[in-house]
Amino acid sequence: MIQINENYKKLKASYLFSDIAKRIGKFSEENPSAQIIKLGIGDVTRALPRTCIEAFHKAVDEMSADNSFHGYGPEQGYSFLREKIAEMDFKSRGTGITADEIFVSDGSKCDTGNFQELFAQDLKIGVPDPVYPVYVDTNVMAGRTGEWKDGRYQGLYYLDSIEENNFVPDLPSEKLDLIYLCFPNNPTGSVATKTQLKAWVDYALKNKALILFDAAYVAFIRDNSIPQSIYEIEGADKVAIEFRSFSKTAGFTGTRCAYTVVPKNCQVYSSNGNIESLHSMWNRRHCTKFNGVSYPVQRAAEAVYSAQGQVEVKELTDYYLKNAKYILEKMQSFGFKCTGGDNSPYIWINGQRDSWEFFDMLLSKAQVVCTPGSGFGKCGEGYIRISAFNSYEKVVEAMERIAKAI
Ligand code: PLP
């Protein structure tokens, strides 16, 4: 008899975005002429930068001739891309990350979800609340949690990200082994200062813990005092992994390219306390289960680092940041307490009412779709997330409609 992994039964039946899609579907059916503006799901709306497209086309053409064709590439990524990443994303920030510590992949969703495979079952795991759901669900699937009770999984340690701590979780009183952090944050849009990140790194060093640092939104940081990489903090290379993605940086959500940094210095332990190499373990895992990102996509990603590519990705993220600023200012002028929206494409809004009630009100009265904060965790109740990923014109119209609706 083929038996299932019973842990899957613990997963909450429906995924946040399918709930949202159902409500939109029902509303559209009942109001077929409604012009809905979507500021919900965090998918980009603007085309790939010109320079990336040109590199992409050129690489596709190379695939059409035997003498320039590329078959399987290195699982870890082509060195032309890894070298550029090391130079431009890390060396330029004064960190010592090298190309062989970078693992190119087809997305940070997979990497943040897969990384937990390398660790023991009985870990104490800290996850922010609210949270990008992938960190939680993949640990549920792996059997590291108990049942879902009162809006949380038993056995996980939730790190409350609330107004009182500016949505940057406080250090836990317990000794955790694995900690997920994400800055600029999805969904709250908060950023962590150097002092706040240092406190986490010091905590991890002291407790022999590991931080999984998700920097998928790093390209939106404009405040120079905010660290762009956790490796800007001394000692972080011993206790932190960093996830980066071209999805939001350069509009690659449908093209798929990301990377994970696993420093060779990173220390993890076997059950007898011996130090093990996390770098070797991830390399082994990556080579066994992954066969590389396609050559044209890696060439397109490489183009992000050219002089013209840098100008274009800055223009792209500036565009969304302009939307974010507009949303932030408008929502504040309507009397809502908000965070995010300056170094982030997300605005986290205290709606002072049930998240889904606010969602339904915006959908029915303004035909604007947001994301209910409660879908990201218990601490998200009462909030909604509005995303800046849409055209400026649509954003302006959405804010006009919201003004009338409220
Ligand atoms: N990490 C966070 C915090 C995200 O919000 C997202 C996507 O929305 C991802 C990772 C996934 O990125 P990718 O498109 O590289 O899979």
| Domain boundaries defined on the chain | 12-47+308-405, 53-306
| pLDDT band, residue 94 (cuts 50/70/90) | very high
Q: Pick the atom of ligand 1 nearest to 111's CA.
A: 16
Ligand 1 centroid – CA 287 distance (Å): 22
Ligand 1 centroid – CA 246 distance (Å): 9
325-to-81, 191, 313, 347, 396 alpha-carbon distances in Å = 33, 15, 18, 9, 11
CB 276 within 8 A of CB 144: no
Query: What DSSP element (H or E) covers 214?
Result: strand 210-214
**Domain 53-306, CATH among 1.25.40.20, 3.40.640.10, 3.90.550.10, 3.30.300.30:** 3.40.640.10
Distance CA 7, CA 3 (A): 12
Helix and strand tally (H, E) in the chain? 13, 17
**Domain 12-47+308-405, CATH among 3.90.1150.10, 3.40.50.970, 3.40.50.720, 3.20.20.70:** 3.90.1150.10
- Quick one: what percent of the chain has pLDDT higher than 70? 99
Burial per residue of 189-213, b for 16 or more beta-carbon CB atoms within 10 angstroms, e otherwise: bbbbeeebbbbbbbbbbebebbbbb
Instruction: Please choose from 131, 161, 186 the residue to mutate so as to test ligand 1's pocket, defined by most ligand atoms within 8 A of CB.
Output: 186
pLDDT in tens, 126-167: 999 999 999 999 999 999 999 999 999 999 999 999 999 999
The pair of structure tokens assigned to 265 is: 């210095």
What was the pLDDT predicted at 18? 84
Whether the CB of 131 sits within 6 Å of ligand 1: no
What was the pLDDT predicted at 12? 83
Query: What DSSP element (H or E) covers 102?
Result: strand 102-105
| pLDDT band, residue 13 (cuts 50/70/90) | low
pTM reported for the whole predicted model: 0.97
CB 144 within 8 A of CB 125: yes
Residue 63 per-residue DSSP state: T
pLDDT of 56 higher than 80: yes
pLDDT in tens, 269-311: 999 999 999 999 999 999 999 999 999 999 999 999 999 999 9
Whether the CB of 247 sits within 6 Å of ligand 1: yes
